[in-house]
Amino acid sequence: MTDVKEPPLPPQPRLLARDIVKTFGANRALKGVDLTVGDGEVVGLIGENGAGKSTILNIVSGVLPFDSGTLQLDGRDIAPKSYQDANKLGIFRVFQEAALIDSLPVYQNVFFGWEHLFRTRLGGLDHRALRRAAGDALGKADVEGVDVAAPTGQLTPGQKQSLDIARVTALAELLEVERPVVLFDEPTTALDSEHEDNFLLLLKRLRGVAAVVFVSHRLPEIIETTDRITVFKDGESVADRPTAGTDESELHRLMVGRLRTENYYREHVQRAITTDDAPRLVVEGVAGAGVLREATLQIAPGEIVGLAGTEGSGKRVLGEIIAGAVKPTAGRVLVNGREVTGSIGDHVRAGIAYVPPDRSEKGLITTSSIVDNIQLASLHDHFATRRVGLWAVGRARKVAEQYVEELGVVAAGIDAPVSSLSGGNAQKVLIAKWLLRKPDVLVLDEPTQGVDTGAREGIYDLLRKVAADGTSIVLVSDDLPELIGLSNRVAVVTEGRLVAVVDAPPDDKPDEHDLVALMIPGTTLVPTTTG
């Protein structure tokens, strides 16, 4: 035996992720992030959409492999290859939507995937043992009023939530994990406030018996429940600090803030808007989708109006109603003084264009070529005869080529499939599809999501140019600096109501903090100016 004294170890986190890198094709989703959780600690993980929160949870829980970096549990390197693999190590996850199978009875959901631990002597599934174990588990987790034999679909959302969490503790016990690591991925997004309270109670109960990572968009609940907060931004960890002593607006700034170069948003070419012009777009008392309750707004030709609001505030629905993607339950939308009703096709014909968020799901057909995507919205008038629909292939190609060149889309040619493009270039194709229609009103929802800086500036240039040509732009964005920088005015939607319209002239842009204060419900309205 040698007598070498080891230096005292620093207090070790239970879970440690350091310098984790993950790339999807050309897209670096994680550029070396850090995340640590101590025993009995609740760590909040926040960041914008696309910041990499879900990716790191996927990596830690074995759903995705990582490219490089260190992932350790209790000081030992781990690389779980599947979710079950992670479970065996003691890592559990509560997924974004309650991951329960409605058609199965409750007890089968509790230990779903681990049925092989409940075998009869003949090798069949031992329903009785499974039911008993599930009953015990729910009892221990204080889930009340749930019949373990009932179909899971009959449970209330709150009961499902409790079940989802009880499942984690039950599984941990079954696998003889004493102190699990539990990952929550935005578990409250689908819940109303009552169930949210219920969930937060459950979360508090976990504190002390588990190490918890809690991802949420809702900053108040993050502040209320966590000990420490880690902030991700564009695939990097930008902050890690104790919850005590921080507040919502600081967190918000950390999530979205970036050092702004001068005229990054092309403020110097922002058009001055005269109110003498007849409004191009009028929105009168619209409501819809059960979220938006009342919004009234007028937009002048060539004006850019940003819609600000927290997730679920209704700002996105307002954009969708203007675009025709969602039917309003009240109120009306007028373009150039004429009311627009009916299908989204009628809105397109009335001169409205809509660049939806999530371009690969809603904006572009990724298996199709650039030219086919660009012409898709204009075949009823520009590129085909009205009745028979003979297709002016040559004209469509010419226009596509012109836009690809004008917008600087980097591609092998207009026949290249959209799936071969980078995010920024794909976004330009999506915008080109609508610009060629020379729309009167252009609605853009998150136009720079997943778009790198260079392409962003290209898109900003483009929007300024489009506005200068007289198109009115409605911009929905979670990126506050962008919203403020680009807009002539910012409309704030809070809890379904358009509560304020803030002027944003180039030389006097409103402060982010003030806008955040308006966005968060319950704060008193600061006096506002309207244009």
CA distance 139 to 55: 33
Residue with smaller CB distance to other proteins, 94 or 429: 429
Binding residues among 510-529 for other proteins as defined by CB under 8 A: none
Distances in whole angstroms, Cα of residue 160 to Cα of each of 152, 187, 205? 8, 11, 17
- For the bound state, the minimum distance from the C-beta of residue 441 to other proteins, rounded and expressed in Å, comes to 14
220: alpha, beta or left, given left = phi > 0 and alpha = psi -120 to 50? alpha
Residue with smaller CB distance to other proteins, 206 or 414: 414
- For the bound state, the minimum distance from the C-beta of residue 403 to other proteins, rounded and expressed in Å, comes to 16
Mark the segment that binds other proteins (CB under 8 A) among 47-55, 90-98, 229-237, 414-422.
414-422
Mark the segment that binds other proteins (CB under 8 A) among 149-157, 257-265, 347-355, 466-474.
347-355
By the 10 Å C-beta count (0-12 exposed, 13-18 middle, 19+ buried), 353 is classed as: buried
Binding residues among 425-464 for other proteins as defined by CB under 8 A: 433
- Considering only residues 74, 372, 461, 503, which one is a binding residue for other proteins as defined by CB under 8 A? 372
Binding residues among 182-211 for other proteins as defined by CB under 8 A: none
- For the bound state, the minimum distance from the C-beta of residue 74 to other proteins, rounded and expressed in Å, comes to 36
- For the bound state, the minimum distance from the C-beta of residue 424 to other proteins, rounded and expressed in Å, comes to 17
Cα Rg for the chain, rounded, in angstroms? Answer: 26
- For the bound state, the minimum distance from the C-beta of residue 450 to other proteins, rounded and expressed in Å, comes to 17
- Considering only residues 380, 405, 410, 530, which one is a binding residue for other proteins as defined by CB under 8 A? 380
383 forms part of the interface with other proteins (CB under 8 A): yes
- Considering only residues 253, 376, 408, 505, which one is a binding residue for other proteins as defined by CB under 8 A? 376
Instruction: Calculate ∠ Cα 395-399-403, nearest 5°.
Output: 170
- The four Cα atoms 154, 156, 157, 163 give a dihedral, to 10 degrees, of -80
Pair 45, 230: CB distance under 8 Å: yes
- Considering only residues 198, 296, 402, 420, which one is a binding residue for other proteins as defined by CB under 8 A? 420
3-state secondary structure 14-78: CEEEEEEEEEECCEEEEEEEEEEECCCCEEEEECCCCCCHHHHHHHHCCCCCCCEEEEEECCEEC
Size of the site for other proteins (CB under 8 A): 49
- For the bound state, the minimum distance from the C-beta of residue 239 to other proteins, rounded and expressed in Å, comes to 34
- Considering only residues 32, 312, 417, 506, which one is a binding residue for other proteins as defined by CB under 8 A? 417
Mark the segment that binds other proteins (CB under 8 A) among 214-222, 239-247, 327-335, 415-423.
415-423
Binding residues among 284-343 for other proteins as defined by CB under 8 A: 324-325, 343
CA distance 466 to 468: 5
Closest CA to 184 of 142, 217, 146: 217
Q: What H or E segment, with its residue span, contains residue 240?
A: strand 236-242
Query: What are the phi and psi torsion angles at 402 (to 5°)?
Result: -60, -45
Residue with smaller CB distance to other proteins, 19 or 401: 401
Q: What H or E segment, with its residue span, contains residue 516?
A: helix 512-519
345 forms part of the interface with other proteins (CB under 8 A): yes
CA distance 13 to 325: 47
Mark the segment that binds other proteins (CB under 8 A) among 123-131, 161-169, 411-419, 490-498.
411-419
Residues 13-42, one symbol each (x = binds other proteins by CB under 8 A, - = not), give: ------------x-----------------
- For the bound state, the minimum distance from the C-beta of residue 24 to other proteins, rounded and expressed in Å, comes to 10
Greatest distance between any 2 Cα atoms in the chain = 93
- For the bound state, the minimum distance from the C-beta of residue 290 to other proteins, rounded and expressed in Å, comes to 20
Contacting residues for 29 by C-beta, under 8 A, at least 6 apart = 22, 23, 52, 55, 235
CA distance 190 to 206: 21
Residue with smaller CB distance to other proteins, 194 or 415: 415
366 forms part of the interface with other proteins (CB under 8 A): yes
344 forms part of the interface with other proteins (CB under 8 A): yes
Q: At what angle do helices 157-174 and 193-206 cross, to 10 degrees?
A: 20
Q: Name the 3-class secondary structure at 83.
A: helix
CA distance 307 to 297: 11
375 forms part of the interface with other proteins (CB under 8 A): yes
- Considering only residues 2, 193, 261, 367, which one is a binding residue for other proteins as defined by CB under 8 A? 367
Q: Would you tell me which residues interact with other proteins (CB under 8 A)?
A: 25, 324-325, 343-349, 354, 356, 361-368, 372, 375-377, 379-380, 383-395, 397-398, 412-413, 415-417, 419-420, 433
